[in-house]
Structure 1
Amino acid sequence: MAEDEAQVSPPDSLLQLIDNLARFHREHEEYYAQAPLRQAGDLQARSRALKALADRWSLIGVGEQASEIAFAGTEDLNAPGLVAESGILFMEGEGEPAELQRLKREIGLLAHDLEQTGVWLAEAMEQAWEMAGGLAAYPALADLLGERHRIIADDWQSAGLQTLIARLLRRALDLLARVDFAPAALRADLRGERTAPTYLYSASELLDRAADLMLESATLVHDNERRWRVFRARVRELRSA
């Protein structure tokens, strides 16, 4: 290869590295273009459950304990249709339903995972940005630098969204922690100030916003798919040449 041609095209060792990154990071992003869609659907289902309870508790006339028999369903606190959909069942003589405890636990785990992923991805994009700047030295890749930087920008924005989503989920849990879900405590609240429904409505709105942002994150990552194909095709072309 002539000296001028060597300056135009990156060395094969660099092209091999770029090809590897383009291949595996494209596959990695295919997962993250789909996973948030499932997670958003799950969050929306949890939000609907909270809204159903809040709707019920905003209007219902609260009664006394309906039965002395342990594990009997509470006629006043259970929302119509919600038991079959979500499994959330308030029972006489019991405390907070196990299904509500699991709902909050799963939201907490999701927040933890998203926070970790967001931090990792932001750090990775910091390094990718520096590496992409170095590619400007090779004119053979000049027309693809926009594509590469757009991929990084989309992923960086997705990282920020994931960190924000984690914050929304944690704040929703803070609001839910304000509610004592034991039937006796709920009835006492609903006979008085009825703060439980308002906390549930606000927590559900935060879950809704988190779900919306998950969809935005998935859209950003999905937008990179064609860009990765174009970028990798050029790299493989240069390697074969």
Structure 2
Amino acid sequence: MIDNLAKFHREHEQYYAQAPLRQAAELQARSRALKSLADRWSDVEAGEQTSAIAFAGTEDLNAPGLVAESGILFMEGEDEPAELRRLKREVGMLAEETEQGGAWLNRAMEQAWEIAGSLASYSTLADLLGERHRIIANDWQSAGLQALVARLLRRALELLARVDFSPAALRADLRGERKAPAYLYSASELFDRASDLLTESATLVHENERRWRVFRARVRALRSEQAGATE
């Protein structure tokens, strides 16, 4: 059983030492998009509808270079850009997945802690118990980070929900209090922090690689010794 856990959980963690890094990079890209829009809307003067064609781009609302990078395109006759709706939907899915993953990992570490305690009766593993408990501690900390990431992302979505992204509403805001840029800056900062924590989570799991390798090598050596003694 111990060999099985060491084998498959090491492989499982090899995946989770990489996946959060990809998620962090994607969050950073979304954060940059929000900042680009906030920068633009902080300075630009609100314009008027310049074309009767519904699919014409809005000269005042689109941030330079952002359309090509993110696909986010404000059009004269449209409402909120589909790309922004997708951004919020994908962030919501990431929050859900991260929360569920953190909860699962927390439960798994509760059980792993008990199992690791029972290994104290095996004196041949005594010098590796610190390594095994460090693995658990890292994973437990990662579980807590994932729960916090989910909270940050959900709060960022709540802030974005306060912005009406239709061209007419945005132009009205630009002529008035310019609240939209402030909400976008704050949401992007929460994205940034969530991205940092995802990277920390991946780092914690990645630190376990050598510990798993050393631990499993000892377990396999003990199994070989036992097999040889019974022959």
Same fold (TM over 0.5): yes
* C-alpha separation in 2, matches of 1:121 and 1:37: 18
Of the three residues 172, 176, 185, the one matched with 1:188 is 172
User: Pick from 45, 61, 74: which aligns with 1:61?
Assistant: 45
Distance 1:112 1:38 in 2: 17
Residue 143, structure 1, aligned to residue 97, structure 2: no
What is the deviation of 1:66?
1.3
Could you tell me which of 81, 90, 94 is aligned with 1:110?
A: 94
Indicate the residue corresponding to 2:229 in structure 1: none
Give the Cα–Cα distance (whole angstroms) in 2 for the partners of residues 25 and 160 of structure 1. 19
In structure 2, which of residues 78, 81, 87 is the aligned counterpart of residue 94 of structure 1? 78
Distance in 2 between residues matched to 1:201 and 1:223, nearest whole Å: 33
Deviations 1:200-237 (A, max 9, x none): 00000000000000110000000000000000000011
Aligned partner of 2:215 in structure 1 is 231
Backbone CA RMSD of aligned residues: 0.4
Q: Secondary structure at the match of 2:164?
A: coil
Tell which deviates more after alignment, 219-228 or 134-143: 134-143
**Structure 2 match to 1:77:** 61
Counterpart CA distance in 2 for 1:60 and 1:188 is 13
The offset of 1:129, in angstroms, is 0.2
Counterpart-to-counterpart distance in 1, 2:16 and 2:10: 10
Q: Deviations over 1:32-89 (max 9, x none)?
A: 0000111100000000000000000000011111112111100000000000000000
Displacement after TM superposition at 1:106 (Å) = 0.3
Q: 4+ residue stretches of structure 1 with deviation over 4 A?
A: none
Cα distance in 2 between the residues matched to 1:98 and 1:214? 26
Q: Tell me, what secondary structure is at the counterpart of 2:93? A: helix
Q: Which residue of 2 aligns with 1:37?
A: 21
Q: Distance in 2 between matches of 1:69 and 1:35?
A: 43
Corresponding residue number in structure 1 for 2:161: 177
Please report how far the alpha carbon of residue 110 of structure 1 lies from its aligned counterpart in structure 2 after TM superposition: 0.3
Q: Any stretches of 5+ residues in structure 1 without a counterpart? A: 1-16
Mapped to 1, the partners of 2:142 and 2:210 lie a distance apart of 17
- 1:211 corresponds in structure 2 to 195
Determine if the alignment matches structure 1 residue 22 to structure 2 residue 6.
yes
Structure 2: how far apart are the matches of 1:232 and 1:131?
15
Q: C-alpha displacement at 1:144, in angstroms?
A: 0.5
What is the alpha-carbon distance in structure 2 between the residues aligned to residue 215 and residue 38 of structure 1?
9
TM-score (norm 2): 0.97
Gaps of 5+ in 2: 226-231
Counterpart for residue 5 of structure 1: none
Q: Which residue of 1 aligns with 2:137?
A: 153
For residues 161 and 61 of structure 2, the distance between their equivalents in structure 1, rounded to whole angstroms, comes to 18
Q: Per-residue CA shift, 1:139-172, capped at 9, x if unaligned?
A: 1111010000000000000000000000000000
Structure-2 separation of matches of 1:238 and 1:26: 19
Q: Aligned equivalents of 1:122 and 1:99: distance in 2?
A: 34
Q: Which among 83, 107, 117 is matched to residue 133 of structure 1?
A: 117
Give me the identity figure in percent.
81
- Length, aligned pairs only: 225
